[in-house]
Amino acid sequence: VHDGRSLVTADLLADTDAVVAGKPFTVLVRMRQAEGWHTYWKYEGDSGLPTSITWTLPEGFEAGPIQWPVPMRLVEPGDLQVYAFKNEVLLPVEIRPPQTLSSSEVTLRAKVSWLVCEKICIPGSAELDLSLPVSTGKAGPANEELFTLARARLPFAQGLPYALTWKAEENAVSLRIKGVPAGVNPDFFPLPPQGVVAGHVRVSEENGEFVVRVPFEGDVPSGLGGLLVFQNGDEPLRAWEVSMASTPILSATRPAVSGSLWKFLGYGFLGGLILNLMPCVLPVISLKVFGFIKQAGESRTRIFQMGLAFFAGILAWFLGLAGVIIGLKMVGHEVTWAFQFQSPLFILVMSAIVFVFALNLFGVFEILLPGKAGAGLSELGNREGLAGAFFQGVFATILATPCTAPFLGTALAFAFAQSPAVIFLMFASIALGMGSPYLLLAAKPGWLSYLPRPGLWMVRVKEFMGFLLIATLLWLLWVLGNQRGIEAVIGAAALLLVLAVVCWIKGAFYDRGARPGAAIAALFMLALGAWFVLPGLAAALKSTPSSSGQIAGPKEGIPWQPFTEPLLQASAGGDRIVLVDFTAQWCLTCKFNEKTAINTSAVREWMTANQVLPIKADWTSGDPAITRALASFGRVGVPLYVIYPAGDASKPVVLPELITEQIVLEGLREAASRSTPPHPKPWIP
């Protein structure tokens, strides 16, 4: 006959030889079990009871939670799966003493209760105590070997080397694991919310990826977590703590994307059409309008050819972008809309292109195309003008890609989850939508008769367009500064200075006959720039600046909290309404919305009066956590605005891409009405 205490012996040890006021230390509950018997993990599985510790501590002392080691999965009679420990169990707990201690010795007492099982189960408990002297100086280590072993048995909290994708299914949750090397076998020990029982976990391999499936009876719980465990031959188990919180906006609430392919292609067309009106594109649309003005005196055939060339540039960029996205997806990368604007190098290259185009419009030099001598980009009447129109189409489209217009987000979310053929079709549909106004204007050249007749005024208009491009350049440099700090902006400005001198040499000397000397001078300037500018600029682009090194915008008046997965997981569904603004510094639509619809006195007053928690998810540099959050709502780009009611994270209010102050206030009021209990604060109209 056994009793629980005779099967388990327990003692209490500390990692320090003395207690210092205000300095946390760790104690260890060590449990040694009889051969063949086991106690249980914090989630016991189909049967059992977790070990618990009840502390009696001196005044002012606090005890943290049990730091659970990695258990093992056991199958008991009746096909019951449990998560348990055999032999020796080490349970660390952090103890936090107060800032002042008046006694010379402290005693910690703990009542440890367990259920120990083999073929039968027997409850047991032990009253443990540990006395430690109080030191006014430094404390020395104690039981180092045992605590090293205890830490080695704990799971990792971060640094998982594999990509995870959670998916809520009917009565189950699946977890897809990418990048697991051959010979490594994954397993999953679930940790469902209190009172929820998980079914038997199944692990399968599909197309080189492992899929973990956890069934449940009834509704899928929000907040499922657990241990992702890996075994590699005879090597010890390695485990990571994972949770659906790693996709903080739970995929169980993700809106379904359903419907016919034609419907989503229609969405893509409408989204591309609306792109022409988005703040991202407006600075460069004027370039094409200027081109149509210059074409007013040409033949219908020639004008139509120019429109086709411009559309071909739009189509070429979109299809090229589709090809890059498909290629990255095939090698396992997570790609999104406007991913290129998350690259500081891309921003730098675009800044250089915009600046050179602006210098061209100012008349500093002429961009000459291959073919006839002296044929410039502005000469739209000759054969090379088709190439000019083509590259204008490419240029306008590059600057359009940061935007997610209405309808475009839904279409792209659908396309990114489909086959390569569907992705190409979707991007072609978006290109057709964006290029259709220019095709229509080119096909109806009679409408051009309403434009002013060509004349000297066109030179002034061209120069004015250069100032619009300089404004675009300032925006790009601001984005670069927010990504990599003021050093990157200074380096980029130095590079632009070098390019300006080279362009001036070309226009003032090379194009006027002094070609050998001008070419040597231009090469010298480029070499000088490469020697003095590029090393520092390259270092700045690779750096990750602190917030103090970034270019700060004006104070917004809203106390935004930086987005983190733990913050959103802890706040969504809490006792406050939560507003999450998914934005990026390169998204002009986002900035327009923030200035005109969010950072207004009425919205600020409503948020203050109703204690709304504002969270800003800045996607400027492609934060993977924000990418996962966007994907959980079926989005591949910004802007996105989500409002969580207090007490209910399952049904957030999602606002459209283009918003007004009234839309934001209505969304906040709707969230307040959904709050449980209803939000008690008064509303400000």
Range with lowest mean pLDDT among 450-454, 491-495, 624-628, 629-633? 450-454
- Model's pTM, two decimal places? 0.43
Contacts of residue 323, Cβ cutoff 8 Å, sequence gap at least 6: 424
The answer to whether 241 and 382 have CB atoms below 8 angstroms apart is no
In whole angstroms, give the CA distance from residue 640 to residue 290: 34
Least-confidence region, from 195-199, 401-405, 607-611: 401-405
Mean pLDDT to the nearest integer, 254-272: 67
Task: Give me the chain's average pLDDT, please.
Answer: 78
Do the bridges between strand 613-618 and strand 561-562 make them parallel or antiparallel, or are there none, so unpaired?
parallel
Question: Could you tell me which residue, 248 or 115, shows the higher pLDDT?
Answer: 115
- Pick from 650, 640, 625: which is nearest to 580 by CA? 640
Using alpha carbons, list the distances in angstroms from residue 216 to 192, 196, 368: 10, 8, 68
Least confident of 219-228, 248-257, 555-564: 248-257
Identity of residue 440: L
Whether 253 has a pLDDT exceeding 50, the answer reads no
pLDDT category of residue 84 using cuts at 50, 70 and 90: very high
Of 118-122, 197-201, 349-353, 388-392, least confident by mean pLDDT is 388-392
Instruction: Residue 470: name the closest of 284, 339, 194, 344 by CA.
Output: 284
Q: What angle do CA 332, 334, 338 make, to 5 degrees?
A: 135
Q: What is the pLDDT of residue 143?
A: 92
CB 658 within 8 A of CB 404: no
Give the pLDDT mean for 632-650: 81
The bridge status of strand 202-206 relative to strand 209-215 is antiparallel
Segment 661-670 shows an average pLDDT of 93
Q: For residue 85, what pLDDT band results from cuts at 50, 70 and 90?
A: very high
pLDDT at 378: 40
- Would the pLDDT of 250 be above 50? no
Query: 578-583 and 238-243 as β-strands: parallel, antiparallel, unpaired?
Result: unpaired
Average pLDDT over every residue of 627-646: 82
pLDDT digits (tens, 9 = 90+) for 177-193: 887 777 788 889 998 87
pLDDT at 92 over 80: yes
- At residue 165's C-alpha, the angle toward residues 162 and 166, to 5°, is 135
Contact 442, 306 (CB under 8 A): yes
Q: Which one, of 208, 130, 121, lies nearest residue 162 by Cα?
A: 208
Q: Where are the alpha helices (DSSP H) in 485-564?
A: 486-508, 515-532, 534-542
Q: Which are the contacts of 35, defined by CB distance < 8 A and separation ≥ 6?
A: 87
pLDDT tens-digit readout, 16-61:
999 999 899 999 999 999 998 999 999 988 888 999 999 999 999 9
For residue 135, the Cα-to-chain-centroid distance in whole angstroms is 47
By residue count, the chain amounts to 685
Nearest-angstrom CA–CA distance, 163 and 628:
11
Query: In the prediction, which pLDDT does 251 show?
Result: 35
CA distance 271 to 86: 60
pLDDT band of residue 369 (cuts 50, 70, 90) is very low
Contact 132, 16 (CB under 8 A): yes
pLDDT at 116 over 70: yes
Statement: residue 333 has pLDDT above 70: no
First to last CA, the chain: 74
What's CA 174's distance to the chain center, in Å?
Answer: 21
Asked whether residue 101 carries a pLDDT value surpassing 80, the answer given is yes
pLDDT (tens digit per residue) in 281-311: 555 555 555 665 565 556 667 777 777 888 8
| pLDDT bracket for residue 208 (50, 70, 90) | confident
Amino acid 487: pLDDT: 81
87-101, 256-270, 535-549: which range is least confident on average? 535-549
Q: What is the mean pLDDT of residues 440-453?
A: 66
8 A C-beta contact, residue 321 and residue 428: no
Beta strand pairing call for 578-583 and 613-618 = parallel
pLDDT for res 508: 86
HSE of 483 in the Cβ direction (CA atoms, 13 Å)?
Answer: 28
* Predicted pLDDT at 134: 92
pLDDT at 338: 55
Tell me how far CA of residue 668 lies from CA of 38, 434, 608, 682, in angstroms.
52, 33, 12, 12
The segment with the largest mean pLDDT, out of 477-486, 525-534, 594-603, is 594-603
pLDDT over 70 for what percent of the chain?
A: 77
285, 273 Cβ separation under 8 angstroms: no
Report whether pLDDT(176) > 70: yes
pLDDT computed for residue 142 by the predictor: 92
Which DSSP state fits 475?
H
**Own/partner long-range contacts of 676-683 (Cβ < 8 Å, ≥24 apart):** 676/645, 676/646, 676/647, 676/648, 677/647, 679/577, 679/610, 679/645, 679/646, 681/609, 681/610, 681/611, 682/609, 682/610, 683/606, 683/609, 683/610
Q: 5-19, 506-520, 532-546, 578-592: which range is least confident on average? A: 532-546
Band (pLDDT 50/70/90 cuts) for residue 260 is low
- pLDDT at residue 274 greater than cutoff 90: no
User: 145-149, 226-230, 409-413, 564-568: which range is least confident on average?
Assistant: 409-413
Average pLDDT for residues 524-552, to the nearest whole number?
Answer: 69
- State mean pLDDT over 218-240: 73
Strands 172-178 and 209-215: antiparallel
Helix (H, G, I), strand (E, B) or coil at 16: strand
Closest CA to 463 of 362, 581, 568: 362
